[in-house]
Amino acid sequence: MRLLEDENYFEIEEKLLNEGYRFICGVDEAGRGPLAGPVFAAAVVMDRKKIIEGVRDSKKLTPKKREKLFDEIIKESIAYSVAMVDSKIIDEININNATFLAMKNAIENLKIEPDIVLVDGYEIPNLSFNQMAIIKGDRKSYSIACASILAKVSRDRYIVEISSKYPVYKFEKHKGYGTKEHIEILQKYGPCEIHRISFLKNILSL
């Protein structure tokens, strides 16, 4: 099934509901690309009767809008879960495996068992639930878009909170991404304990 961006975000879910699936879980990640901090994943089962207006891929929303939708998604969801994998594990098992691990943990921590999981991107290895991988799923699936908002806001809040422990790096501004300012700070002070060392080889002499 191929959907154009901004088509009916519930079309995939509607088809699955008509096929007899009841608890449809969307899962997405936030933080694959940053030089520092954990990768987050969220899993969410939404209520078909309580569609939230304005849900879109989290990258297309302003921080203020994401925050508002975050609270609405939690309120209207049947179940949700957020998980993270820290930078040390990312360095040990690589970002792809760490992302899959965060997604898997989020799904397995749901208070209900999903009938099917809609995954943004590629199938999660060794997942015990039926799954459907959807490339650019956060632009095509309501459930995945909701998960993308939960993951993004959760990670941003975490980074802002932890930034006070490492004030020199200004994580609250760039959220760990490789901005010009962040790279200049890294070159001056070197990495801290939440940096992903495996991501810094082309930036620093490590």
Find out whether 120 is annotated in a ligand binding site. yes
Contacts of 140 (CB under 8 A, 6+ apart): 3, 5, 7, 9, 11, 12, 134
Check: CB of residue 129 under 8 Å from CB of residue 99.
Answer: no
Residue 18 has φ and ψ, to the nearest 5°, of: -65, -25
**Contact criterion met (CB below 8 Å) for 37 and 31:** yes
- Could you write out the DSSP letters of every residue in 18-35? HTT---EEEEEEE-SS-S
Q: Rounded to an integer, what distance in angstroms lies between the CA atom of residue 80 and that of residue 97? A: 22
28 labeled part of a ligand binding site: yes
**118 with 144: CB under 8 angstroms?**
yes
Q: Are strands 116-120 and 131-134 parallel, antiparallel or unpaired?
A: parallel
Closest CA to 80 of 70, 90, 89: 70
Cβ–Cβ under 8 Å, residues 161 and 177: no
Annotated binding site: 28-29, 120
Annotated binding site for a divalent metal cation: 28-29, 120
